Amino acid sequence: MRALVSRLTGTGARQSLIAITDQTVVSGTRFAATILIGRIAGMEELGLYAIGFSIIILISTIQEALLMSPYSVLGAREGAAGRRRFADSIFTLSCGLGVVHMCAALFGAFLAPALGYADQFYFLIAIAITVPFALLHNFARKMCYAHFRLRDALFLDTGVTVIQITGLVGLAMTASLSAATSIAAMGVASAVPGLVWFYSNQHSFVTRWKRAWIQLRQNWAFGKWILGTQQIRTLGGSMILWFISALSGVAAAGVFAACSIVITAANPLLLGMSNILEPRTAGAYVNGGHTALARIVRRTTIALAYMLGAYGVVVFLGGTNAITWLYDDEQLRDQAHMLMVMAFIVLLRGLMLAPSLGLRALGRTKYNFAASLLNLLVSLTLAYPLIVQFGALGGAYAIFGGVIAGSAARLWFFARAMKNG
Protein backbone atom coordinates (compact mmCIF):
# COMPACT_ATOMS: atom_id res chain seq x y z
CA MET A 1 0.00 0.00 0.00
CA ARG A 2 2.83 2.36 0.88
CA ALA A 3 4.49 1.59 -2.46
CA LEU A 4 1.25 2.39 -4.32
CA VAL A 5 0.83 5.72 -2.51
CA SER A 6 4.45 6.57 -3.22
CA ARG A 7 4.00 5.80 -6.92
CA LEU A 8 0.86 7.94 -7.15
CA THR A 9 2.40 10.92 -5.35
CA GLY A 10 6.03 10.63 -6.41
CA THR A 11 8.00 12.90 -8.71
CA GLY A 12 7.27 10.82 -11.81
CA ALA A 13 3.52 10.92 -11.19
CA ARG A 14 3.55 14.68 -10.61
CA GLN A 15 5.55 15.22 -13.79
CA SER A 16 3.12 13.07 -15.77
CA LEU A 17 0.18 15.04 -14.36
CA ILE A 18 1.74 18.38 -15.29
CA ALA A 19 2.63 17.08 -18.76
CA ILE A 20 -0.93 15.89 -19.38
CA THR A 21 -2.32 19.17 -18.01
CA ASP A 22 -0.05 21.13 -20.32
CA GLN A 23 -1.06 19.07 -23.33
CA THR A 24 -4.69 19.57 -22.32
CA VAL A 25 -4.11 23.31 -22.58
CA VAL A 26 -2.45 22.96 -26.02
CA SER A 27 -5.01 20.55 -27.44
CA GLY A 28 -7.84 22.47 -25.81
CA THR A 29 -6.75 25.57 -27.71
CA ARG A 30 -6.85 23.67 -31.01
CA PHE A 31 -10.18 22.16 -29.99
CA ALA A 32 -11.69 25.58 -29.24
CA ALA A 33 -10.27 27.12 -32.43
CA THR A 34 -11.77 24.34 -34.54
CA ILE A 35 -15.18 24.79 -32.95
CA LEU A 36 -15.18 28.59 -33.26
CA ILE A 37 -14.17 28.51 -36.92
CA GLY A 38 -16.58 25.71 -37.85
CA ARG A 39 -19.49 27.17 -35.89
CA ILE A 40 -19.08 30.80 -36.97
CA ALA A 41 -17.19 30.81 -40.28
CA GLY A 42 -18.61 27.55 -41.65
CA MET A 43 -17.33 24.21 -42.87
CA GLU A 44 -15.48 25.61 -45.91
CA GLU A 45 -13.38 28.00 -43.81
CA LEU A 46 -12.81 25.20 -41.31
CA GLY A 47 -11.57 22.95 -44.12
CA LEU A 48 -9.17 25.65 -45.36
CA TYR A 49 -7.95 26.35 -41.82
CA ALA A 50 -7.31 22.62 -41.32
CA ILE A 51 -5.20 22.55 -44.50
CA GLY A 52 -3.17 25.57 -43.33
CA PHE A 53 -2.71 24.09 -39.88
CA SER A 54 -1.52 20.81 -41.42
CA ILE A 55 1.17 22.73 -43.35
CA ILE A 56 2.45 24.34 -40.14
CA ILE A 57 2.50 20.95 -38.42
CA LEU A 58 4.48 19.45 -41.31
CA ILE A 59 7.13 22.15 -40.87
CA SER A 60 7.16 21.64 -37.10
CA THR A 61 7.91 17.94 -37.56
CA ILE A 62 11.21 18.87 -39.22
CA GLN A 63 12.18 20.83 -36.12
CA GLU A 64 10.99 18.02 -33.85
CA ALA A 65 12.88 15.26 -35.63
CA LEU A 66 16.17 16.92 -36.53
CA LEU A 67 16.56 19.28 -33.60
CA MET A 68 14.41 18.66 -30.53
CA SER A 69 14.33 14.84 -30.38
CA PRO A 70 18.12 14.53 -30.80
CA TYR A 71 18.54 17.09 -28.03
CA SER A 72 16.18 15.19 -25.70
CA VAL A 73 17.84 11.81 -26.30
CA LEU A 74 21.47 12.56 -27.20
CA GLY A 75 21.70 15.66 -25.05
CA ALA A 76 20.99 13.54 -21.98
CA ARG A 77 24.37 11.84 -22.56
CA GLU A 78 26.31 15.13 -22.61
CA GLY A 79 27.87 17.01 -19.73
CA ALA A 80 26.78 20.56 -18.85
CA ALA A 81 29.16 22.26 -21.30
CA GLY A 82 28.34 19.86 -24.14
CA ARG A 83 24.61 20.27 -23.61
CA ARG A 84 25.01 24.06 -23.66
CA ARG A 85 26.74 23.89 -27.05
CA PHE A 86 24.05 21.49 -28.26
CA ALA A 87 21.32 23.97 -27.24
CA ASP A 88 23.11 26.85 -29.00
CA SER A 89 23.23 24.87 -32.22
CA ILE A 90 19.61 23.76 -32.30
CA PHE A 91 18.43 27.29 -31.51
CA THR A 92 20.44 28.64 -34.45
CA LEU A 93 19.07 25.93 -36.73
CA SER A 94 15.49 26.57 -35.56
CA CYS A 95 15.85 30.24 -36.52
CA GLY A 96 17.17 29.24 -39.94
CA LEU A 97 14.33 26.77 -40.44
CA GLY A 98 11.77 29.45 -39.64
CA VAL A 99 13.26 31.97 -42.06
CA VAL A 100 13.48 29.45 -44.92
CA HIS A 101 9.85 28.39 -44.62
CA MET A 102 8.63 31.95 -44.13
CA CYS A 103 10.30 32.90 -47.41
CA ALA A 104 8.79 29.84 -49.13
CA ALA A 105 5.28 30.81 -47.96
CA LEU A 106 5.79 34.41 -49.09
CA PHE A 107 6.92 33.20 -52.50
CA GLY A 108 3.79 31.05 -52.72
CA ALA A 109 1.61 34.00 -51.72
CA PHE A 110 2.93 36.24 -54.48
CA LEU A 111 2.83 33.40 -57.01
CA ALA A 112 -0.77 32.41 -56.17
CA PRO A 113 -2.54 35.20 -58.14
CA ALA A 114 -0.60 34.29 -61.28
CA LEU A 115 -1.77 30.69 -60.94
CA GLY A 116 -5.41 31.67 -60.49
CA TYR A 117 -5.54 31.43 -56.69
CA ALA A 118 -5.73 35.12 -55.84
CA ASP A 119 -8.19 34.39 -53.02
CA GLN A 120 -5.44 32.52 -51.14
CA PHE A 121 -2.97 35.45 -51.07
CA TYR A 122 -3.75 36.57 -47.52
CA PHE A 123 -4.08 32.97 -46.35
CA LEU A 124 -0.49 32.24 -47.45
CA ILE A 125 0.74 35.55 -46.00
CA ALA A 126 -0.76 34.49 -42.65
CA ILE A 127 1.09 31.16 -42.84
CA ALA A 128 4.35 33.00 -43.63
CA ILE A 129 3.94 35.21 -40.56
CA THR A 130 2.96 32.34 -38.29
CA VAL A 131 5.62 29.72 -39.13
CA PRO A 132 8.71 31.31 -37.47
CA PHE A 133 6.81 32.14 -34.28
CA ALA A 134 5.20 28.69 -34.13
CA LEU A 135 8.70 27.19 -34.34
CA LEU A 136 9.97 29.53 -31.60
CA HIS A 137 7.11 28.50 -29.32
CA ASN A 138 7.70 24.82 -30.02
CA PHE A 139 11.44 25.22 -29.39
CA ALA A 140 10.77 26.86 -26.04
CA ARG A 141 8.30 24.24 -24.79
CA LYS A 142 10.46 21.31 -25.93
CA MET A 143 13.48 22.80 -24.15
CA CYS A 144 11.38 22.99 -21.01
CA TYR A 145 10.46 19.31 -21.38
CA ALA A 146 14.03 18.24 -22.11
CA HIS A 147 15.13 19.82 -18.82
CA PHE A 148 12.00 18.67 -16.94
CA ARG A 149 10.90 22.26 -16.32
CA LEU A 150 7.31 21.24 -16.84
CA ARG A 151 5.75 24.12 -14.95
CA ASP A 152 7.54 26.56 -17.27
CA ALA A 153 6.08 24.71 -20.28
CA LEU A 154 2.60 24.91 -18.74
CA PHE A 155 2.99 28.64 -18.11
CA LEU A 156 4.21 29.21 -21.66
CA ASP A 157 1.36 27.26 -23.27
CA THR A 158 -1.25 28.91 -21.05
CA GLY A 159 -0.07 32.28 -22.34
CA VAL A 160 -0.46 31.09 -25.93
CA THR A 161 -3.96 29.81 -25.18
CA VAL A 162 -5.17 33.03 -23.56
CA ILE A 163 -3.91 35.21 -26.41
CA GLN A 164 -5.13 32.95 -29.22
CA ILE A 165 -8.62 32.36 -27.85
CA THR A 166 -9.01 36.06 -27.02
CA GLY A 167 -7.97 36.90 -30.58
CA LEU A 168 -10.39 34.41 -32.12
CA VAL A 169 -13.28 35.66 -30.00
CA GLY A 170 -12.44 39.23 -31.01
CA LEU A 171 -12.40 38.25 -34.67
CA ALA A 172 -15.74 36.50 -34.27
CA MET A 173 -17.31 39.52 -32.58
CA THR A 174 -16.16 41.79 -35.42
CA ALA A 175 -17.29 39.34 -38.14
CA SER A 176 -13.66 38.95 -39.25
CA LEU A 177 -13.17 35.28 -38.46
CA SER A 178 -11.79 33.30 -41.40
CA ALA A 179 -9.12 30.70 -42.08
CA ALA A 180 -6.52 33.40 -42.80
CA THR A 181 -7.26 35.53 -39.74
CA SER A 182 -7.37 32.43 -37.54
CA ILE A 183 -3.90 31.38 -38.72
CA ALA A 184 -2.66 34.94 -38.07
CA ALA A 185 -4.11 34.83 -34.55
CA MET A 186 -2.14 31.63 -33.96
CA GLY A 187 1.03 33.44 -35.05
CA VAL A 188 0.49 36.36 -32.69
CA ALA A 189 -0.33 34.00 -29.83
CA SER A 190 2.88 32.02 -30.42
CA ALA A 191 4.99 35.17 -30.80
CA VAL A 192 4.27 36.95 -27.53
CA PRO A 193 5.02 34.17 -24.98
CA GLY A 194 7.79 32.81 -27.21
CA LEU A 195 9.59 36.15 -27.34
CA VAL A 196 9.13 36.66 -23.60
CA TRP A 197 10.66 33.22 -22.98
CA PHE A 198 13.56 34.00 -25.31
CA TYR A 199 14.21 37.35 -23.62
CA SER A 200 14.31 35.62 -20.25
CA ASN A 201 16.69 32.91 -21.52
CA GLN A 202 18.73 34.76 -24.16
CA HIS A 203 21.90 34.43 -22.08
CA SER A 204 21.69 30.66 -22.66
CA PHE A 205 22.04 30.87 -26.46
CA VAL A 206 24.87 32.01 -28.69
CA THR A 207 24.47 31.87 -32.48
CA ARG A 208 27.39 30.10 -34.16
CA TRP A 209 26.52 28.86 -37.63
CA LYS A 210 29.67 26.80 -38.14
CA ARG A 211 29.01 24.78 -35.00
CA ALA A 212 25.33 24.54 -35.92
CA TRP A 213 26.10 22.89 -39.27
CA ILE A 214 28.37 20.37 -37.57
CA GLN A 215 25.62 19.59 -35.06
CA LEU A 216 23.07 19.23 -37.86
CA ARG A 217 25.20 16.55 -39.50
CA GLN A 218 25.36 14.68 -36.20
CA ASN A 219 21.64 15.10 -35.63
CA TRP A 220 20.92 13.83 -39.13
CA ALA A 221 22.51 10.47 -38.34
CA PHE A 222 20.14 10.09 -35.39
CA GLY A 223 17.11 12.04 -36.58
CA LYS A 224 16.76 11.17 -40.26
CA TRP A 225 14.57 8.16 -39.52
CA ILE A 226 12.56 10.13 -36.96
CA LEU A 227 12.07 12.85 -39.56
CA GLY A 228 10.89 10.32 -42.10
CA THR A 229 8.59 8.72 -39.54
CA GLN A 230 7.00 11.99 -38.40
CA GLN A 231 6.71 13.44 -41.89
CA ILE A 232 5.02 10.27 -43.09
CA ARG A 233 2.69 10.21 -40.10
CA THR A 234 1.73 13.84 -40.58
CA LEU A 235 1.50 13.52 -44.35
CA GLY A 236 -0.88 10.59 -43.94
CA GLY A 237 -3.54 12.70 -42.27
CA SER A 238 -2.77 15.83 -44.29
CA MET A 239 -2.90 14.13 -47.68
CA ILE A 240 -6.19 12.44 -46.83
CA LEU A 241 -7.57 15.88 -45.95
CA TRP A 242 -6.24 17.30 -49.22
CA PHE A 243 -7.70 14.38 -51.19
CA ILE A 244 -11.11 14.88 -49.59
CA SER A 245 -10.95 18.58 -50.48
CA ALA A 246 -10.01 17.80 -54.09
CA LEU A 247 -12.44 14.91 -54.63
CA SER A 248 -15.41 15.89 -52.46
CA GLY A 249 -15.02 19.63 -51.85
CA VAL A 250 -13.68 21.91 -49.13
CA ALA A 251 -16.93 21.57 -47.15
CA ALA A 252 -16.42 17.79 -46.96
CA ALA A 253 -12.89 18.45 -45.71
CA GLY A 254 -14.47 20.68 -43.07
CA VAL A 255 -16.77 17.83 -41.97
CA PHE A 256 -13.75 15.53 -41.77
CA ALA A 257 -11.87 18.13 -39.70
CA ALA A 258 -14.88 18.54 -37.41
CA CYS A 259 -15.08 14.79 -36.79
CA SER A 260 -11.34 14.71 -36.17
CA ILE A 261 -12.20 16.39 -32.88
CA VAL A 262 -12.37 12.81 -31.56
CA ILE A 263 -8.62 12.57 -32.15
CA THR A 264 -7.99 16.10 -30.87
CA ALA A 265 -9.80 15.37 -27.62
CA ALA A 266 -7.46 12.43 -26.93
CA ASN A 267 -4.31 14.42 -27.69
CA PRO A 268 -3.85 15.79 -24.16
CA LEU A 269 -3.33 12.24 -22.94
CA LEU A 270 -1.29 10.90 -25.88
CA LEU A 271 0.93 13.90 -26.55
CA GLY A 272 1.30 14.68 -22.85
CA MET A 273 2.47 11.13 -22.21
CA SER A 274 4.76 11.27 -25.25
CA ASN A 275 6.44 14.49 -24.09
CA ILE A 276 7.35 13.05 -20.72
CA LEU A 277 7.98 9.47 -21.88
CA GLU A 278 10.56 10.30 -24.54
CA PRO A 279 13.29 11.39 -22.10
CA ARG A 280 12.07 8.84 -19.53
CA THR A 281 12.33 5.82 -21.86
CA ALA A 282 15.75 7.01 -23.03
CA GLY A 283 16.88 7.26 -19.40
CA ALA A 284 15.40 3.86 -18.53
CA TYR A 285 17.34 2.16 -21.30
CA VAL A 286 20.61 3.96 -20.45
CA ASN A 287 20.33 3.11 -16.75
CA GLY A 288 18.55 -0.25 -16.73
CA GLY A 289 18.94 -1.76 -20.19
CA HIS A 290 16.34 -3.92 -21.91
CA THR A 291 14.65 -4.98 -18.68
CA ALA A 292 13.87 -1.44 -17.57
CA LEU A 293 12.78 -0.45 -21.07
CA ALA A 294 10.43 -3.43 -21.39
CA ARG A 295 8.91 -2.60 -18.01
CA ILE A 296 8.09 1.02 -18.87
CA VAL A 297 6.71 0.06 -22.32
CA ARG A 298 4.48 -2.65 -20.83
CA ARG A 299 3.11 -0.48 -18.01
CA THR A 300 2.43 2.47 -20.32
CA THR A 301 0.66 0.33 -22.92
CA ILE A 302 -1.61 -1.33 -20.36
CA ALA A 303 -2.53 2.01 -18.79
CA LEU A 304 -3.31 3.55 -22.18
CA ALA A 305 -5.41 0.55 -23.20
CA TYR A 306 -7.71 1.05 -20.21
CA MET A 307 -7.97 4.83 -20.64
CA LEU A 308 -8.50 4.83 -24.40
CA GLY A 309 -10.95 1.94 -24.19
CA ALA A 310 -13.07 4.02 -21.81
CA TYR A 311 -12.73 6.98 -24.16
CA GLY A 312 -14.07 4.87 -27.04
CA VAL A 313 -17.16 3.99 -25.00
CA VAL A 314 -17.78 7.69 -24.35
CA VAL A 315 -17.52 8.46 -28.09
CA PHE A 316 -19.95 5.63 -28.89
CA LEU A 317 -22.52 6.82 -26.36
CA GLY A 318 -22.41 10.57 -26.85
CA GLY A 319 -20.08 11.56 -29.68
CA THR A 320 -22.74 12.41 -32.27
CA ASN A 321 -24.77 14.63 -29.97
CA ALA A 322 -21.61 16.32 -28.74
CA ILE A 323 -20.25 17.42 -32.12
CA THR A 324 -23.71 18.40 -33.41
CA TRP A 325 -24.11 20.69 -30.40
CA LEU A 326 -20.56 22.02 -30.52
CA TYR A 327 -20.66 23.01 -34.20
CA ASP A 328 -24.38 23.77 -34.36
CA ASP A 329 -24.57 21.91 -37.66
CA GLU A 330 -27.19 19.23 -38.22
CA GLN A 331 -25.25 17.52 -41.04
CA LEU A 332 -22.83 16.28 -38.37
CA ARG A 333 -25.64 14.23 -36.78
CA ASP A 334 -25.13 11.66 -39.57
CA GLN A 335 -21.45 11.14 -38.75
CA ALA A 336 -21.69 8.53 -35.96
CA HIS A 337 -20.00 5.95 -38.20
CA MET A 338 -17.03 8.23 -38.88
CA LEU A 339 -16.69 9.11 -35.19
CA MET A 340 -16.32 5.44 -34.25
CA VAL A 341 -13.70 4.90 -36.95
CA MET A 342 -11.81 7.89 -35.53
CA ALA A 343 -12.07 6.40 -32.03
CA PHE A 344 -10.50 3.12 -33.20
CA ILE A 345 -7.70 5.12 -34.85
CA VAL A 346 -7.03 6.83 -31.51
CA LEU A 347 -6.95 3.48 -29.70
CA LEU A 348 -4.45 1.88 -32.06
CA ARG A 349 -2.20 4.94 -32.14
CA GLY A 350 -2.23 5.10 -28.36
CA LEU A 351 -1.25 1.45 -28.00
CA MET A 352 1.72 2.06 -30.30
CA LEU A 353 3.05 5.06 -28.36
CA ALA A 354 5.29 3.18 -25.93
CA PRO A 355 6.70 0.66 -28.49
CA SER A 356 7.50 3.57 -30.81
CA LEU A 357 9.41 5.43 -28.09
CA GLY A 358 11.04 2.15 -27.10
CA LEU A 359 12.43 1.69 -30.62
CA ARG A 360 13.70 5.27 -30.50
CA ALA A 361 15.46 4.65 -27.17
CA LEU A 362 17.06 1.51 -28.64
CA GLY A 363 18.37 3.55 -31.56
CA ARG A 364 16.26 1.52 -34.03
CA THR A 365 14.51 4.57 -35.44
CA LYS A 366 14.59 3.14 -38.96
CA TYR A 367 12.09 0.51 -37.80
CA ASN A 368 9.64 3.24 -36.82
CA PHE A 369 10.19 4.76 -40.25
CA ALA A 370 9.49 1.45 -41.99
CA ALA A 371 6.26 0.93 -40.02
CA SER A 372 5.10 4.47 -40.73
CA LEU A 373 5.96 4.13 -44.41
CA LEU A 374 3.81 1.00 -44.61
CA ASN A 375 1.05 2.92 -42.82
CA LEU A 376 1.21 5.73 -45.40
CA LEU A 377 1.34 3.44 -48.43
CA VAL A 378 -1.70 1.45 -47.29
CA SER A 379 -3.64 4.66 -46.51
CA LEU A 380 -2.85 6.23 -49.88
CA THR A 381 -3.67 3.00 -51.73
CA LEU A 382 -7.07 2.91 -50.09
CA ALA A 383 -7.73 6.65 -50.22
CA TYR A 384 -8.83 7.28 -53.80
CA PRO A 385 -11.38 4.48 -54.22
CA LEU A 386 -12.79 4.91 -50.70
CA ILE A 387 -13.11 8.72 -50.90
CA VAL A 388 -14.71 8.57 -54.35
CA GLN A 389 -17.22 6.02 -53.04
CA PHE A 390 -17.86 7.26 -49.50
CA GLY A 391 -16.51 10.83 -49.28
CA ALA A 392 -15.08 11.92 -45.94
CA LEU A 393 -15.97 8.56 -44.33
CA GLY A 394 -13.82 6.85 -46.94
CA GLY A 395 -10.92 9.05 -45.90
CA ALA A 396 -11.33 7.93 -42.29
CA TYR A 397 -11.32 4.27 -43.33
CA ALA A 398 -8.20 4.84 -45.44
CA ILE A 399 -6.39 6.18 -42.38
CA PHE A 400 -7.70 3.30 -40.25
CA GLY A 401 -6.46 0.70 -42.70
CA GLY A 402 -3.02 2.28 -42.72
CA VAL A 403 -2.88 2.44 -38.92
CA ILE A 404 -3.72 -1.29 -38.65
CA ALA A 405 -0.90 -2.22 -41.03
CA GLY A 406 1.61 0.16 -39.41
CA SER A 407 0.75 -0.98 -35.88
CA ALA A 408 1.27 -4.64 -36.72
CA ALA A 409 4.64 -3.86 -38.29
CA ARG A 410 5.75 -1.66 -35.36
CA LEU A 411 4.91 -4.36 -32.80
CA TRP A 412 6.85 -6.95 -34.78
CA PHE A 413 9.87 -4.64 -35.09
CA PHE A 414 9.86 -3.83 -31.37
CA ALA A 415 9.65 -7.52 -30.37
CA ARG A 416 12.49 -8.30 -32.77
CA ALA A 417 14.68 -5.47 -31.47
CA MET A 418 14.17 -6.52 -27.85
CA LYS A 419 14.91 -10.16 -28.65
CA ASN A 420 18.07 -9.45 -30.64
CA GLY A 421 19.37 -6.80 -28.25
User: For the chain (length 421 residues), average pLDDT per consecutive 10?
Assistant: 44 69 80 86 84 86 81 67 75 87 90 80 91 92 81 89 93 90 93 88 68 75 73 76 84 82 73 71 76 83 86 84 78 82 88 85 82 90 92 91 93 85 61
What's the confidence (pLDDT) of residue 80? 65
| pLDDT for the residue 164 | 94
Classify the C-alpha dihedral 409-410-415-417 as positive or negative.
positive
This prediction's pTM: 0.68
Helix 261-327 vs helix 250-259: angle between axes, to the nearest 10 degrees? 110
Query: φ and ψ at 277, to 5 degrees?
Result: -80, -25
Instruction: Indicate the helix (H) or strand (E) that contains 188.
Output: helix 179-201
| Among 145, 137, 80, residue whose Cα is nearest residue 280 | 145
Residue 166 Ramachandran class (φ > 0 left, ψ -120 to 50 alpha, else beta): alpha
Predicted local distance difference test score (pLDDT) of residue 409: 93
Residue 2 is predicted with a pLDDT of 45
Share of the chain above pLDDT 90, in %: 19
Please tell me the distance from the alpha carbon of residue 260 to that of residue 345, in angstroms, as a whole number: 10
What pLDDT sits at residue 7?
44
pLDDT of 328:
75
Cα angle vertex 396, ends 223, 278, to 5°? Answer: 30
Q: CA torsion 347→350→354→360, rounded to 10°? A: 120
